[in-house]
């Protein structure tokens, strides 16, 4: 399970960095979103990857902290998803305004030749 999650994080982060370095603003936006998802998945996996484990240790039961799932990274990721969605929506509005004003969507403002 850990190997699959770490490979997924690496692939998403690599694709995100590759897209951030592209010349078009929409590709940069998608790259930032992929980087955000990779970081969220990493933070989520830091809390431990337990299947069928309760996130809260109940009183009266033996505290087996080996299979304990920390709820703090889950709440941080939930907050980061909401903030990332709002930031992406704002960036899309700015991208559409920029495209309407300049007529292009290149990051450096120059169009590619034929």
Query: pLDDT digit string (tens) for 5-24?
Result: 899 999 999 999 999 998 88
Percent of the chain with pLDDT over 70: 73
Contact status, residue 83 vs residue 93, Cβ threshold 8 Å: no
- Measured from the Cβ of residue 39, the count of other Cβ atoms closer than 10 Å reads 17
Contact status, residue 106 vs residue 24, Cβ threshold 8 Å: yes
Domains of the chain and CATH, by start: 2-50+70-102 (1.10.287)
Residues counted in the chain? 114
What is the Cα 52 distance to its own chain's centre? 25
The model carries a pTM of 0.73
Average pLDDT over residues 86-111: 81
Residue 69 — left, alpha, or beta (φ > 0 → left; ψ -120 to 50 → alpha)? beta
Q: Residue 14 has what pLDDT?
A: 96
Contact status, residue 5 vs residue 49, Cβ threshold 8 Å: yes
Query: pLDDT digit string (tens) for 54-74?
Result: 656 666 666 555 556 677 888
Helix, strand or coil for residue 24? strand
């Amino acid at each position: 399970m850990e190997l699959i999650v770490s490979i997924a994080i690496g692939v998403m982060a690599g694709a995100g960095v590759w897209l951030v370095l592209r010349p078009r603003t929409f590709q940069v936006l998608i790259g930032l979103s992929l980087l955000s998802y990779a970081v969220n998945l990493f933070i989520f996996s830091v809390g431990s990857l337990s299947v069928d484990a309760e996130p809260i240790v109940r009183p009266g039961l033996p505290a087996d902290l080996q299979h304990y799932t920390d709820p703090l990274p889950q709440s941080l990721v939930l907050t980061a998803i909401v903030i990332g969605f709002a930031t992406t929506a704002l960036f899309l509005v700015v991208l559409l305004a920029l495209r309407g004003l300049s007529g292009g969507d290149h990051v450096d403002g120059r169009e590619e030749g034929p």
